[in-house]
Amino acid sequence: MAKLDIINVPDPLLKTVSKAVGQVDDQVRQLMDTMLETMYGAPGIGLAAIQVAVPKRVIVLDIAGDMDNPQPLFMVNPKVVWESEEFNVYNEGCLSVPEHYAEIERPAEVTVQYLDYDGKQQEQTVGGLLSTCVQHEIDHLNGVVFIDYLSKLKRNMIIKKVHKATPDTTVL
């Protein structure tokens, strides 16, 4: 099956606010299948469509980290409808910022509404790593990358290093 190329910072596409999906049809399902395969191949535990240059509000996740027992999650038009007051800190990475990590603080638990693989409305409250990952992916749909939470100095340093290491992965 086909794999897609993942774009890296500072590709300006990563700042796109992705468009809501009107209907979960076979074309959207095919996108989700290919994204999942791309994510597993990377390897990663989450992927937003904009990371493969598709500006649609689609994310795929699998935090199980067990290729023999995959637990994929597909979320179309995901929306956080509740956040816990408690926060968590996680050392985050991103496939579009390879080999750089930073501690990011986010709500420990969130309730997310989304359409699933079959286009059915779902609501799920998540915690732990899945909560971090869902919020990280929804950020991508809004044109936000985790390094945007860092100081301008740190962010620019990381962007420069990634661009130098992977100049072919950006449109710039």
Task: Tell me which of 37, 92, 103, 137 is the catalytic residue.
Answer: 137
Among 47, 110, 112, 130, binds ligand GNR (CB under 6 A): 47
For residues 72 to 101, the per-residue mask of contacts with Ni ion, x marking binding by CB under 5 A and - elsewhere, is ----------------------x-------
Q: Which is nearer to ligand GNR, 6 or 115 (CB)?
A: 6
- Residue 45, contacted partner among Ni ion, ligand GNR, none, CB below 5-8 A by kind: ligand GNR
**Token pair for residue 2?**
């086909």
Does 7 engage in binding with ligand GNR (CB under 6 A)?
A: no
Closest CA to 24 of 52, 51, 47, 58: 58
DSSP bridge pairs for 19: 56
Among 126, 137, 158, 159, binds ligand GNR (CB under 6 A): 137
Least spacing, CB of residue 131 vs Ni ion, in Å: 15
> Could you tell me which stretch among 17-25, 38-46, 78-86, 160-168 binds ligand GNR (CB under 6 A)?
38-46
Does 44 engage in binding with ligand GNR (CB under 6 A)?
A: yes
- Residue 44, contacted partner among ligand GNR, Ni ion, none, CB below 5-8 A by kind: ligand GNR
Contacts of residue 19, Cβ cutoff 8 Å, sequence gap at least 6: 55, 56, 57
Does 93 engage in binding with ligand GNR (CB under 6 A)?
A: yes
Three-state helix/strand/coil letters over the chain: CCCCCCCCCCCHHHHCCCECCCCCCHHHHHHHHHHHHHHHHCCCCEEEHHHHCCCECEEEECCCCCCCCCCCEEEEEEEEEEECCCEEEEEECCCCCCCCCEEEEEECCEEEEEECCCCCEEEEEECHHHHHHHHHHHHHHCCCCHHHHCCHHHHHHHHHHHHHHCHHHCCC
> Contact positions toward Ni ion, by CB under 5 A?
94
Catalytic residues: 137
> Contact positions toward ligand GNR, by CB under 6 A?
44-48, 51, 90, 92-96, 132-133, 136-137, 140
